Amino acid sequence: MSQGPPPLQPLAHTDFYREIRRNKLRTAVILFSFIALIAVAGIAINFLLGFGVGGVIVALVIAGILGFVSYYNSDKVALAAARARPADGPEYQRYHNLVEGLCIAAGLPKPRLYVVDDPAPNAFATGRNPKHAALAVTTGLLQEMDRVELEGVIAHELSHVKNYDILASTVAVIAVGAVALLANIGLRFWIFGGNREGDDGGLGIILAIASIALLIFAPIAAQMMQFAMSRKRELLADATGVQLTRYPPGLCSALKKLQTDQAVIRHANHATAQLWIESPLDRNQDTKGSWLNRAFDTHPPLDERIKILEAM
């Protein structure tokens, strides 16, 4: 007789602190990696357009500015991209009460609360640290989830805040977009009148080809860096969240509802997909083009997450 998966052992406090330290280190590495990628893309653009040493300096300055903006304003960009609005009004009192209770239990300051007007049930957390965090839920999530299910989802998102996942995830939103924008601008300028003076030399041709290849593959590299850091963090947030609520069936039931609901977030995109508790993109096999969303999914399969929660 086959046995199910072994129960997931509770994580000790030392394990949480160790994971938080690792997340802070990963965040620093990811942030500097994105800045380096933006700088390299800028240098490639400079070579193709023939701006010289001044262009290299400008590229490095732009990379530094984008890194600074990403660190301090990435939450605002993510909330604006989702078209989130502050959760004001008496109709959101249950939402506020659940967040306040869980924050007290987790020892966290209460994040700023937002709502996204969308019937698809989903939620995400953003910000650079627990003191500057924000939590957004869709109107569909508030309508479809009962109290314990909503508590499970909110605990999952607060776990991202507690585990310092939110900075790396949110910075990646801006960085991926910045790399793609720089690459697109550079290629367009080169096509419509870039530097052609050195193309007749062998070294010039090689460097031009290398620069073009870099600009083509830089957005892909940025996207792959984003994918690499999200899947494990979702599983850790599930485990941390149910330890916070002391009730695994709550989050488990919520994930089952998310699995059943096929609605997608109207204003979601690939850059912001990893922020949500479940992928907000269309992955229906019957939908044209959805194979790309499934191939580059930012989240572990819901079946796997539910199976782990049921074993706890």
Residue ending a domain, choose from 192, 211, 228: 228
- Same domain for 113 and 130, yes or no, is yes
Alpha helices in 229-247 (DSSP H): 231-245
Residue pair 41/215 in contact (Cβ under 8 Å)? The answer is yes
- Same domain for 112 and 250, yes or no, is yes
Give per-residue pLDDT as tens, 94-140: 999 999 999 999 999 999 999 999 999 999 999 888 999 999 999 99
- Same domain for 172 and 137, yes or no, is no
**AA letter at 139:** T
Domain extent at residue 33: 13-79+167-228
CA neighbours closer than 13 Å in the CB half-sphere of residue 287:
13
Domain tally for the chain?
Answer: 2
Of the candidates 157, 197, 234, 304, the residue annotated as catalytic is 157
Average of per-residue pLDDT across 16-23: 66
CA distance 139 to 129: 25
Give per-residue pLDDT as tens, 200-246: 455 556 556 666 666 666 666 666 666 655 667 788 889 889 989 99
Q: Residue 215, exposed/middle/buried by CB under 10 A (0-12, 13-18, 19+)?
A: buried
Q: What is the pLDDT of residue 36?
A: 77
Q: What is the pLDDT of residue 290?
A: 44
Higher pLDDT, 89 or 287: 89
- Same domain for 254 and 155, yes or no, is yes
Residue 310: active-site member: no
CA distance 247 to 243: 7
Residue ending a domain, choose from 228, 243, 278: 228
Tell whether pTM > 0.85: no
> What is the rounded average pLDDT for all residues in the chain?
76
**174 has a pLDDT exceeding 50:** yes
- Same domain for 259 and 284, yes or no, is yes
- The CATH number given to whatever domain includes residue 116 is 3.30.2010.10
Identify whether 75 is part of a domain: yes
